[in-house]
């Protein structure tokens, strides 16, 4: 077996250097960190839910096999070490001994053993449990027989209910071969050795282990709870940094340091206290000023007043750009919107490459981003689908591979090119029977702050470049609830901002919105000969890249060539990464664990409560230091 390199450098020294850029610590583990929250989890069942609010508690209270340092380096957690075979299909983990499961009162319940990961795999892949993250056993990594067992249990449930089940092509299934739950490729040769067997090589398997569906669960406790598992803090066990000692939904959550925790010296905050308030967004700022909470987001309508007030100007700072999400404007090739928006005319226009390039080149993304990020819009600008600093191979960031480098280092906004593409498109479209101006339906979700303003900026700006006689951008509010189902997934848009979140540390995770049966731009459904040929070229390149298992640089090269097809031919327009805007906080988030996927960014381990919030200058200095140190880590 080939030994994987396991970096054992902990983050204490790094944390000191970063903390020096902020305020001084106020006293370690005896501190309390107080927050206000307008959302409430629906369940504590971390094996069942895929809701971020639900799984946030799990990030505090249950440890996984691995964790991360501040710069995204994988570290041992409940697995002290691991190795894989030569083709990365068999991964063996050596479980840390003397780790305890405890109840909400901190009393020992059982030892954590390798069998706890078998129990979670069997639970998640049983269709009866309706796990929202079951797909992580067949996406990226394909755990042997996990999907087969899920499909078998789903078929049996449907049969008992008298309903029909179909295969991926929609054909009714007459029968499904029985699959034994013990045949799932998660086994334990002994109490402290855990083995995952995959159906295909997966060099990035470790990055998948930060998802809730790969967290352990005690089988005896799970059986004891039955369908009450995760109902409240009595029906949950704890092996992580904190214990949910108080759980009063829509009132208060209190998490206290787990004194039985295996790495308790690195848990600096003694108590996490979250108070529920449905009006948190409107009352949070005043509560921070009153000393009632230790952090608050500063919304765009308050930002200028806080920065211009001598008593608060040195408290406000930015947040680390979140490259776990990529936002892009998607062209819809299979319009299903109302006749008044002329879907047939749009279908002619959108299949014309010069038309798409005209809109792409006319789009001043930086100007639009100032709506939400007025001081540093370039900091969240994204020129590729895969964000910068997401993954690297051979000491080189993925977005700097040859096929993507010119896009990463450039800007698609070019008024001269936009008019050239417009003129070429007009001639071609007139010959194809298209009428002008082309109606461009651009919906937005009214529950998302400032999305309407962003659309209005783009409407005025793009029509100003291309002419209102060429395009008529129609900005329209969608429903506040069920927006994705009724708009994007239903194809009820022409041109709209979409997003995708990473599932694991490999470029393949960013291909899913653009491959077969996606519910984003539907370009696989286009009947246009040229568009269809582009889609087939992209899919073939993705398949080629996915089949490269033994050479990360070759794999990244192939994926970058696939991604370049999307950008070069304006199938989508890359837009931005996610941003949490501005905040006032007594935490320095740069002290904590970092990974642009999974639950890592939810954790508080390694962080301290400081005496005061950072200023903008202190934060920028700390962030620059963090970026520099992370680049060094990538280069290694």
Instruction: State the pLDDT confidence band at 301, using cuts at 50, 70 and 90.
Output: confident
Distance CA 3, CA 94 (A): 12
Tokens 């990529």 appear where? 326
**Residue 192: both structure tokens together:** 């402290």
Check: CB of residue 34 under 8 Å from CB of residue 294: yes
Q: pLDDT category, 161, cuts 50, 70, 90?
A: confident
Segment 334-363, tens digit of pLDDT:
999 999 999 999 999 999 999 999 999 999
Measured CA angle at 7 (ends 6, 11), to 5 deg? 145
**Where in the chain are the domains?**
41-232, 328-577
Express each pLDDT in 18-74 by its tens digit: 443 444 444 444 599 999 998 898 999 999 998 888 899 999 999 999 999 999 999
Q: Give residue 140's pLDDT.
A: 84
Q: Of 6, 13, 14, whose CA–CA distance to 71 is shortest?
A: 14
Give start and end residues of each alpha helix (H) in 89-170. 115-124, 146-161
Task: Give the pLDDT score at 30.
Answer: 54
**Is the pLDDT at 171 greater than 80, yes or no?**
no
Give the span between the Cα atoms of 501 and 506, in whole angstroms: 12
pLDDT, one tens digit per residue, over 228-273 is 999 999 999 999 999 999 999 999 999 999 999 999 999 999 999 9
Structure tokens that stand for 348 in this block: 């002619």
What's the rounded mean pLDDT across residues 542-557? 94
Q: How confident is the model at residue 297 (pLDDT cuts 50, 70, 90)?
A: very high
CB 570 within 8 A of CB 360: yes
Cβ distance 240 to 61 under 8 Å?
Answer: yes
Longest dimension (CA), the chain: 77
Return the pLDDT at 23.
43
In three-state secondary structure terms, 307 is helix
* Cα distances (angstroms) measured from residue 77 to each of 7, 93, 262: 11, 11, 9
Angle between helices 451-466 and 415-431 in degrees, nearest 10: 80
| Region of poorest pLDDT, from 49-58, 401-410, 532-541, 604-613 | 49-58
pLDDT at 285 over 90: yes
Count of beta carbons in the 10 Å neighbourhood of residue 28 = 13
The yes-or-no verdict on residue 445 having pLDDT over 80 is: yes
Per-residue pLDDT averaged across 194-209, rounded? 96
Q: Is the pLDDT of residue 202 over 60?
A: yes
Q: How much is the average pLDDT of 619-626? A: 94
Please give the pLDDT value at position 139: 87
pLDDT of the residue at 170: 65
Residue 5 has pLDDT above 60, yes or no: no
Return the percentage of the chain with pLDDT > 70, whole number: 94
What band does 167 get if pLDDT is binned at 50, 70 and 90? low
- Taking alpha carbons only, the member of 412, 614, 387 closest to residue 507 is 387
Q: Right CATH number for 328-577 from 3.10.105.10, 3.40.630.30, 2.70.98.10, 2.40.110.10?
A: 3.10.105.10
Look-up of token digits 């935490």? 587
Residue with tokens 């639950």: 599
Instruction: Say whether domain 41-232 belongs to CATH 3.90.76.10.
Output: yes
pLDDT digit string (tens) for 550-562?
A: 899 999 999 999 9
Q: What is the mean pLDDT of residues 571-581?
A: 93
Reading the block at residue 558, the tokens are 């192939």
Extract the runs of DSSP E, i.e. beta strands, from 332-469: 392-393, 396-397, 438-444
DSSP assignments along 428-463, one per residue: HHHHTT--SSEEEEEEE-TTSTTHHHHHHHHHHHHH
CA–CA dist 394, 298 (Å, integer): 40
Do the domains at 41-232 and 328-577 have one common CATH topology?
no
Inform me whether the pLDDT recorded for 16 exceeds 60. Answer: no
pTM over 0.85: yes
Alpha-helical (H) ranges within 43-137 are 52-61, 115-124
* pLDDT for the residue numbered 26: 42
Q: Tell me: pLDDT of 490 over 80.
A: yes
| Residue 271: predicted pLDDT | 97
Please state whether the peptide bond connecting residue 545 to the residue before it is cis, i.e. omega within 30 degrees of 0.
Answer: no
Rounded to the nearest angstrom, the gap between the alpha carbon of residue 326 and the centroid of all alpha carbons in its chain is 8
pLDDT value for 376: 87
Instruction: Give the pLDDT confidence score for residue 168 in this predicted structure.
Output: 58
* pLDDT at residue 11 in the model: 33
Q: Per-residue confidence at 633, pLDDT binned at 50, 70, 90?
A: confident
Buried-state track 213-222, b at ≥16 Cβ within 10 A, e below 16: bbbbbbbebb
Phi, psi angle pair for 257, to nearest 5°: -55, 135
Q: Which pLDDT score is estimated for 518?
A: 86
Of all residues in the chain, what percent carry a pLDDT higher than 90?
A: 81
For residue 314, give every residue at least 6 positions away whose Cβ sits within 8 Å of its Cβ, in sequence order, or none. 615, 616
- Average model confidence (pLDDT) across the chain: 92
């Amino acid at each position: 077996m080939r030994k994987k390199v396991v970096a054992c450098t902990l983050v204490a020294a790094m944390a000191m250097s970063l903390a020096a850029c902020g305020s001084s610590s106020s006293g370690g583990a005896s501190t309390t960190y107080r927050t206000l929250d307008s959302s409430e989890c629906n369940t504590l069942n971390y094996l069942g839910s895929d809701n971020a609010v639900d799984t946030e508690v799990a990030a505090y209270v249950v440890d996984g096999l691995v964790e991360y340092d501040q710069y995204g380096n994988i570290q041992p957690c409940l697995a002290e070490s691991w190795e894989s075979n030569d083709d990365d299909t068999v991964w063996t983990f050596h479980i840390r001994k003397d780790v305890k499961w405890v109840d909400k009162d901190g009393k020992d319940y059982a030892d954590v053993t390798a069998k706890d990961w078998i129990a979670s795999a069997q639970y998640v892949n049983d269709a009866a449990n309706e796990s929202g993250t079951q797909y992580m056993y067949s996406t990226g990594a394909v755990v042997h027989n996990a999907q087969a067992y899920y499909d078998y249990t789903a078929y049996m449930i449907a049969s008992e209910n008298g309903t029909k089940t179909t295969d991926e092509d929609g054909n009714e299934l007459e029968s499904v071969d029985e699959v034994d739950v013990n045949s799932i490729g998660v086994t334990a040769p002994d109490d402290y050795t855990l083995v995952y067997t995959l159906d295909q090589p997966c060099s990035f398997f470790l990055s998948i282990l930060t998802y809730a569906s790969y967290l352990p669960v005690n089988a005896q406790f799970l059986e004891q709870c039955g369908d009450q598992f995760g109902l409240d803090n009595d029906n949950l066990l704890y092996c992580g940094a904190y214990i949910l000692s108080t759980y009063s939904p829509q009132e208060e959550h209190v998490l206290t340091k787990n004194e039985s925790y295996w790495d308790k010296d690195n848990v600096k905050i003694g108590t996490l206290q979250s108070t529920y308030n449905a009006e948190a967004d409107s009352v949070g700022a005043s509560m921070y000023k009153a000393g009632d909470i230790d952090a608050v987001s500063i919304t765009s309508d308050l930002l200028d007043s806080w920065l211009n007030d001598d008593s608060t100007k040195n408290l406000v700072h930015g947040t680390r750009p979140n490259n776990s999400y990529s936002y892009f404007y998607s062209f819809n090739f299979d319009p299903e919107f109302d006749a008044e928006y002329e879907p047939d005319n749009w279908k002619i226009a959108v299949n014309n490459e010069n038309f798409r390039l005209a809109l792409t080149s006319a789009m001043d993304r930086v100007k639009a981003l100032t709506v939400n990020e007025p001081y540093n819009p370039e900091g969240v600008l994204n020129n590729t689908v895969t964000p910068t600093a997401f993954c690297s191979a051979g000491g080189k960031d993925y977005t700097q591979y040859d096929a993507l480098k010119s896009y990463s280092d450039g800007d698609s906004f070019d008024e001269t090119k936009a008019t050239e593409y417009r003129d070429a498109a007009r001639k071609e479209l007139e010959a194809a029977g298209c009428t002008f101006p082309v109606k461009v339906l651009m919906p937005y979700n009214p529950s998302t702050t400032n999305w309407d303003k962003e659309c209005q900026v783009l409407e005025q700006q793009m029509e100003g470049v291309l002419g209102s006689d060429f395009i008529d951008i129609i900005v329209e509010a969608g429903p506040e609830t069920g927006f994705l189902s009724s708009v994007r997934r239903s194809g009820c848009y022409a041109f709209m901002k979409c997003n995708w979140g990473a599932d694991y540390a490999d470029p393949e995770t960013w291909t899913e919105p653009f491959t077969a049966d996606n519910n984003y731009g539907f370009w696989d459904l286009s009947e246009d000969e040229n568009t269809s040929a582009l889609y087939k070229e992209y899919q073939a390149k993705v398949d080629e890249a996915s089949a490269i298992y033994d050479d990360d640089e070759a794999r990244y090269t192939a994926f970058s060539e696939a991604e370049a097809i999307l950008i070069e031919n304006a199938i989508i327009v890359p837009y931005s990464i996610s941003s949490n805007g501005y905040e006032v906080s007594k935490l320095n988030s740069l002290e904590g664990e970092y990974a642009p996927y999974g639950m890592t960014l939810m954790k508080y381990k390694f962080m301290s409560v400081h005496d005061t919030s950072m200023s903008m200058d202190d934060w920028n200095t700390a962030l620059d230091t963090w970026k520099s140190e992370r680049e060094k880590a990538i280069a290694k």
